[in-house]
Amino acid sequence: MVEPVAWATVSSPEPSTTVRLGVLGCGNVGAALVRLIADQRSAIAARTGLNLEVTRVAVRNLSRERPVELPEGVLTRDAAAVVTDPEVDLVVELIGGIEPARELITAALTAGKPVVTGNKELLANVGPELYAVADQHGVDLLFEAAVAGGIPVVRALRESLRGEPLHRVLGIINGTTNFILTKMAAEGADYGAALSEAQALGYAERDPTADVEGYDAGAKAAIMATIAFGSRVVAGDVYHEGISGITAHDIAMAKRLGYVVKLLGIAELDRETGEVAVRVHPAMVPLAHPLASVNGSYNAVFVEGDAVGQLMFYGRGAGGAPTASAVLGDVIDAADHLVHGTSAGLGTFQRARIRPIDETTAEYLLSMEVVDQPGVLHAVTGVFARHGVSIRAAEQEGAGPAARLVFITHEAKEADVQATVRQLRDLDVVRQVGGLLRVIGA
Amino acid sequence: MVEPVAWATVSSPEPSTTVRLGVLGCGNVGAALVRLIADQRSAIAARTGLNLEVTRVAVRNLSRERPVELPEGVLTRDAAAVVTDPEVDLVVELIGGIEPARELITAALTAGKPVVTGNKELLANVGPELYAVADQHGVDLLFEAAVAGGIPVVRALRESLRGEPLHRVLGIINGTTNFILTKMAAEGADYGAALSEAQALGYAERDPTADVEGYDAGAKAAIMATIAFGSRVVAGDVYHEGISGITAHDIAMAKRLGYVVKLLGIAELDRETGEVAVRVHPAMVPLAHPLASVNGSYNAVFVEGDAVGQLMFYGRGAGGAPTASAVLGDVIDAADHLVHGTSAGLGTFQRARIRPIDETTAEYLLSMEVVDQPGVLHAVTGVFARHGVSIRAAEQEGAGPAARLVFITHEAKEADVQATVRQLRDLDVVRQVGGLLRVIGA
């Protein structure tokens, strides 16, 4: 255990105010939070005048051994009682899922108790409703840990960039898939082998669906879009495409062309129409782009605004300790606001039109196995032309039965590209149309 | 001019409160701020309920043409009158330098008016005194723009990471020197040529001393150390070494060994003793480190904490629009606090012992031209051994009169390495001891 730093041992000039915490859930993050508060308590008191005390911790199973020691009477199985307990000033919700988390958080906010949560599923589904409850009761609802774990990007979007005309947020916001794609790129491994290794190392669940199919990233992208653009976006608004279809060949081809393949959560605001597009899919990122060197289980969020230009926030997107660090930052803020009788205020979220994936545009990479005979390129490019998809680069890989054509388009509309792919599949000279990858501009 | 986004045109549920701004200084940043507020005013009002109005702008020269249009009566030459003007609720200080900025800010804070500033020179010298004045009067003193321009790293350190046991902050926090070093690395250019190009492009001043000798980065490092560790650190506590001694050969050698040369501002806290070390010097950064790919005039701040692990914040460190974006984020926050009768609170800063450069440790790269004869390596390594500096790697470059030895040490104490260099200079077989570069661990 690390000793408190020296300046923390000097007494604070103002006497400290105790804020009593009720923590719902004591898994990885909850336990790390309780430990971190124990370690940092005197340092926090010296610096902020706040004495944080964990008075209740609700768990599912009282007899399970905990990685932290808690005083008698702190542990309980009754989460609802923690929320209404007069000895709890501030609630930290770490149980996840929609119910009973929604009910518990609503009860806490309604009782005037600030809430800190890391619950991305909840916020991606009913976030704006809960934000309204918090604002209505003038208390904080803070959720730094819900997006990109320890990286303080939620606060940056909520506060630092509130006046900035943002138009795009791109994030590597799922560590499991980034670990798998990094493995595939570094070792030429195929998807199955990289997934197995991720599972063996504990980076992927036994059922990896939520991660590899992009649902986890989608929830985070919905939350980011909401706070970045002030628009109500829910998980159901997000277009999803996972990484299970990415092959070692896709990655090798991307590399040869100067790209890496990353699973991105993308939120875009069309400032002319006010439409918002939010999607998760694998994308080709140019090697020189700052997101290209975000490897392993690291996360990063890349933000584009008219005035600020390009920003990137990089760090640990998951894990008990980094996530607990994000929760603690919020707890200190909420406690400070509580003591001063104020709150951060989430502001107003308007319902924007969600632009369907068919109407979005990108550059695309398409590869296909073809019959190696004269006239094939002519036939194939004819299909592109008929759908108004303009080609930026084309090349042939291999020859004979292994012949393959690779195209990169200019900016094109998703619907037109999909129609192109469908018609290419019907061509006799095309054996198979391979991965369709969108290219992210530098 | 960009149209307000769609959601901004929907009226806010709460009527907006007007907050009147007095802006001191209307150069690049001031003009960009006034423009940004004009563009974003209705969007900000819709989202936050705040109506920002620029009522006074103090300038040195009334007749100079401004890149923004201001209503009659807004421009004035009397900065002191702006601060006391009853039609000014909040002061934005963008004139720079210590006086009269200190006096003006103190007057504003004492009058209960929040202040937003980007003045790194001021804060690096008398920051903690001003922070105390702000806290004493319960008003905000916000300064996101003082470190790394548009990158919201100050707020992250002040708020998100207040409870985090941080031990090191490394920053590429001067765009001019990063531009020069990037040029040198990319083109093999020597220092003089790269500096001339930076001057021609407006990235470097005609007198580049403050940038290339590390004074600008030193001021920012002092501010970062203060808010990261809660310790009072001033510009005079910072050890400086600039980039004017870096040669094309140094950079080529670093590259061959798997490093890039970056000018870093480094703040370290020894959590056992409470000592703080703050320094600016060129350093060899491993190619795989996230700071290694921060190129051109971009800035980045890399933060290390026990719980959160490694974080990096990347973006534009200078320029009118990015800096104005940072100022606007602070203005909205301060205005919001003012309306709600609260303030962010800077907390308590303890006077820590500053560890002198001689007592700091690092790995070092040393290169020297030597006489190419038997026994030289033995004589040279003897000097290292006598000073207790352990060698991790050694190699000879070239032969005959061009012979050169390159060493990388294990972690060693600065004083011991400096004594080693002095004694090496006295050896007959050593013609010249070249660049001494510290190596930053991955």
CATH topology of domain B160-316: Dihydrodipicolinate Reductase; domain 2 (3.30.360)
- A120 catalytic? Reply is no
Is there a contact between B155 and A150 if contact means CB atoms under 8 Å apart?
Answer: no
> Residue B185: helix, strand or coil by DSSP?
helix
* CATH, domain A358-439, list 3.40.50.800, 3.40.50.300, 3.30.70.260, 3.50.50.100: 3.30.70.260
Q: Which residues of B152-184 are buried (b: 16+ CB within 10 A; e: fewer)?
A: bbbbbbbbbbbbbbbbbbbbbbbbbbbbbbbbb
Sign of the dihedral through C-alpha A148, A149, A155, A156: negative
Question: Residue A47 has what pLDDT?
Answer: 87
CATH topology of domain A154-316: Dihydrodipicolinate Reductase; domain 2 (3.30.360)
Question: What is the model's pTM?
Answer: 0.93
Q: Which of B151, B163, B290 lies at the smallest CB-CB distance from A329?
A: B163
The nearest alpha carbon in chain A to B274 belongs to: A6
Dihedrals φ, ψ of A337, to 5°? -65, -40
Q: What is the mean pLDDT of residues A134-153?
A: 95
Q: Which of B307, B326, B332 is nearest to B220 (CA)?
A: B326
Is there a contact between A162 and B337 if contact means CB atoms under 8 Å apart?
Answer: no
pLDDT greater than 90 at residue B8: no
Q: Are B186 and B314 in contact (CB under 8 A)?
A: no
Question: Residue B441 has what pLDDT?
Answer: 73
Question: Residue B254 has what pLDDT?
Answer: 93
Q: How confident is the model at residue A435 (pLDDT cuts 50, 70, 90)?
A: confident
CB pairs under 8 A between A and B: 240
Dihedrals φ, ψ of A310, to 5°? -105, 135
Q: At what angle do helices B215-229 and B120-136 cross, to 10 degrees?
A: 30
Does A13 or A431 have the greater pLDDT score? A431
Q: Which of A150, A272, A308 lies at the smallest CB-CB distance from B3?
A: A272
For domain B6-150+321-339, give the CATH number.
3.40.50.720
Q: What are the residue boundaries of the structural domains of chain A, listed by start?
A: 6-150+321-339, 154-316, 358-439
pLDDT greater than 80 at residue B14: no
Distance, in Å, from the CA atom of B336 to the CA atom of B234, rounded to the nearest integer, reads: 30
Catalytic residue among B120, B220, B262, B413: B220
Show which of residues 233-272 on chain B sit within 8 Å of chain A, judged by CB atoms.
269, 271-272
What residues of chain A lie within 8 A of the CB of B159, using their CB?
155, 329, 332-333
Question: Residue A248 has what pLDDT?
Answer: 93
> What is the 8-class DSSP label of residue A236?
G
CA angle A180, A185, A186 (to 5 degrees): 100
B3 touches chain A (CB under 8 A): yes
Q: Which of B335, B269, B265 is nearest to B300 (CA)?
A: B265
Question: pLDDT tens digits for A371-428?
Answer: 988 889 999 999 999 999 999 999 988 888 888 999 999 999 999 999 999 999 999 9
Show which of residues 282-311 on chain B sit within 8 Å of chain A, judged by CB atoms.
290, 293, 305-311
The nearest alpha carbon in chain B to A289 belongs to: B293
Distance from CA of A401 to the nearest CA of B (A): 40
The nearest alpha carbon in chain B to A314 belongs to: B312
Q: Which two tokens stand for residue B57?
A: 């702008």
Q: Are B313 and A155 in contact (CB under 8 A)?
A: no
pLDDT greater than 80 at residue A66: no
Distance, in Å, from the CA atom of B307 to the CA atom of B312, rounded to the nearest integer, reads: 15
A16 touches chain B (CB under 8 A): no
Q: Which of B269, B310, B322 lies at the smallest CB-CB distance from A309?
A: B322
Q: Which of B6, B144, B319 lies at the smallest CB-CB distance from A352?
A: B6
B345 touches chain A (CB under 8 A): yes
Question: Residue B4 has what pLDDT?
Answer: 35
Q: Which residues of A30-52 are buried (b: 16+ CB within 10 A; e: fewer)?
A: bbbbbbbbebbbbbbbbbbbbbb
List, in order, residues 6 or more apart from B140 with CB less than 8 Å away. Answer: B114, B115, B116, B134, B330, B333, B334, B337, B338, B343, B344
Distance from CA of B434 to the nearest CA of A (A): 32
Distance from CA of A382 to the nearest CA of B (A): 39
Question: pLDDT tens digits for A205-233?
Answer: 999 999 999 999 999 999 999 999 999 99
Show which of residues 27-46 on chain A sit within 8 Å of chain B, judged by CB atoms.
32, 36-37, 39-40, 43-44, 46
Q: Which of B155, B269, B314 lies at the smallest CB-CB distance from A160?
A: B155
